[in-house]
Amino acid sequence: MEKKFTIDQKSLLSLLSSMQPICSKRTAIDATSSILFQVGHKELILKSTDLEISLQSSCSLIESSFGEPESFLVPGRRIFDVVKELQGPIYCSLTKQQLNLQSSSFSLSLNIKEAEEFPAFPERIENLMHLDANVLLSMLESVVFLIPQNNANPALNGLFLEIKDNSLFMTTTDGHSLAQICSFNTKYQGNKSWLLPRRAVYELKKILETSQDKNIFLGICSNQLVFSGELFNFFTKLLADQFPHYQTILDKSTFYPASIDRSMFLKTLKRSACLLSGQFVPTSFYFEDKLLKVAINNKEVGSLDEQISLTQALPLKVDIKFFAPYLLNGLQAFNNEQIQFYLKSSLSPIIFEHENDQNRITYLVMPVSPSIN
Name the domain count of the chain. Answer: 3
Cα dist from 178 to 12, 250, 256, 365, whole Å: 40, 9, 19, 7
Chosen domain end from 237, 271, 287: 237
Q: Are residues 208 and 309 in the same domain?
A: no
Percent of the chain with pLDDT over 90: 83
Flag whether 370 is in a domain: no
Residue 248 domain flag:
no
My answer on whether 132 and 102 are in the same domain is: no
Q: Is residue 349 part of a domain?
A: yes
pLDDT at residue 104, rounded to an integer? 76
Task: Let me know whether 162 and 87 are in one domain.
Answer: no
260 and 233 in a common domain: no
pLDDT at 190: 79
Domain closes at, from 117, 136, 169: 117
Final residue of a structural domain among 203, 237, 271? 237
Question: For the segment 203-247, what is each residue's pLDDT rounded down to a tens digit?
Answer: 999 999 999 899 999 999 988 999 999 999 999 999 999 999 999
Is the residue at 246 inside a domain?
A: no
Residue 247 domain flag: no
Q: Which structural domain, as residue segments, surrounds residue 217?
A: 126-237
Whether residue 263 sits in one domain with residue 200: no
* Positions in the chain whose pLDDT score sits under 50: none
For the entire predicted model, the pTM comes to: 0.92
Q: Is 251 inside a domain boundary?
A: no
Q: HSE (CB half, 13 Å, CA atoms) of 206?
A: 16
Q: Looking at residue 281, what is its pLDDT?
A: 92
Within this chain, do residues 223 and 291 fall inside the same structural domain, yes or no?
no
* 102: CATH: 3.10.150.10
Domain identity same for 108 and 132: no
pLDDT at 373: 59
Residue 88 and residue 169 in one domain:
no
245 belongs to a structural domain:
no
Closest CA to 66 of 147, 135, 3, 139: 3
The answer on 105 and 159 residing in a single domain is no
Same domain, 166 and 270: no
pLDDT single digits (tens) 245-259 = 999 999 999 999 999
Instruction: Determine, yes or no, domain membership for 12.
Output: yes
Q: Is the domain of 14 the same as that of 106?
A: yes
The reply to whether 265 and 354 lie within a common domain is yes
